[in-house]
Structures are given as structure tokens and as C-alpha cells.
Amino acid sequence: MAGDDAAVEFHAFFERHYAELSRLAHLLTGEADGADDLAADALLALWHRWERVRAADHPAAYARGVVANMARSHIRSAVRERRRIALFWSNRDEDCADPDVPAVIDVRTALRALPFRKRACVVLRHAFDLSEKDTAHALGVSVGTVKSQTSKGMAELHRRLGPHATLEGVQAAAVDTGGST
């Protein structure tokens, strides 16, 4: 089949099945917002192997299988992320006597300025006192990544906060001071 004919055929398939595949993704994941994206990703994957899909006995069933597999992967990723968050919060120490609220706000502001991975490594290692191994497990990265990101994150905090930046400041920032920052 010529390239243009394949594109026309795929476009017709897309128009016929996109809404159905999006509904399937929504029902499987329970997420209306991500369902359209998941269906679009599945159709993109189908386009990349369109010759195999169109040769299948039931191309629509093949497409539903791709959506189901992608939904399964999405759900597994969400479960892993929930486990990481649960691990993060399970080791939270709520004790902080009389924090210096302005300093806590400065530290929180500086932490928010860090890229996510550096911030997560610094907070898990120093505010929640997780080991490098537990931090790596919680974030799904290697221990080496935790070491380098924590070091770089602390160096950046020291640059932002000056020489008075302390681990205690990071720990105090992790405790709710009663106000929102």
C-alpha cells in the first residue's frame, strides 16, 4: 500500500475509533483528563506499526488491546508514585520547637526554586532523615543520583541562603508552621 493510501486509511480508522478508545481509557484508568492523551498515545503507537495493525483480523480489537496495555502501565506507574509518596510521608518527624518562621519561609522559598529531583533528594535526606538507599527507592533513582542531586541541591541552597543555611533550617521547613507559604 502506498504511503498516502496508508495515511488515508489510518485517518479513517482514527476518526472511527478515537472516541471509543478514549472512553475505554477513561473507564480503565478512572481519569477523564488523561484518557484522551492515553488514547492519542495508543493511536500514535498504532500508526508506527500500521501495516501490522491493518493486517490483523480485528484492527479495532488490536487497538483496544494497546489501550488496555497502556492503561495498565499508567496504573502501575500511579501505584508506584503513591507508594513513593507514602514512604515520604511515613517517615515525617513533626517535632520542631519554636521554628524561626521568617527563616523557614526563606528555606521553603529556596527549596521551591530547586528542580524537583534536587529538592526531593534534599528534603528526603535532610528533612526526613532517610538513608541514601531509602531516598533512592522512594524516588525510583540510583543511590549515585541521590548523592549527586543532594550535594548539588545543598550547594544551591547555600548559594541562595548564604553561609547561614543549615540542615536544621531544611528540617524546620518540613514542619508545618501554621501558615501557608
* 172-181 tens-digit pLDDT: 555 443 444 3
Grid cell of 21 as nine digits: 478508545
Model confidence at 75: pLDDT above 90: no
Residue with cell 541552597: 157
CB 99 within 8 A of CB 172: yes
pTM above 0.75, yes or no: no
Phi, psi of 165 (to 5 degrees): -65, 130
- What's the CATH fold of domain 3-90? Rna Polymerase Sigma Factor; Chain: A (1.10.1740)
Top pLDDT among 106 and 12 is at 12
Confidence of residue 93 (pLDDT cuts 50, 70, 90): low
Nine-digit cell at 41?
A: 498515545
Which residue type, as a one-letter code, is found at position 124? L
Radius of gyration (Cα) for the chain, nearest Å?
24
CA distance 29 to 23: 10
Q: Delimit the CATH 1.10.1740 region(s) of the chain.
A: 3-90
Alpha helices in 91-163 (DSSP H): 101-113, 116-122, 132-139, 143-161
CATH number, domain 101-173: 1.10.10.10
Residue extent(s) of CATH 1.10.10.10 domains in the chain = 101-173
Give the model confidence (pLDDT) of 14-69 as tens digits. Answer: 999 999 999 999 988 888 888 999 999 999 999 999 999 888 889 988 899 999 98
pLDDT digit string (tens) for 108-147? 888 888 888 888 888 888 877 788 988 888 788 899 999 9
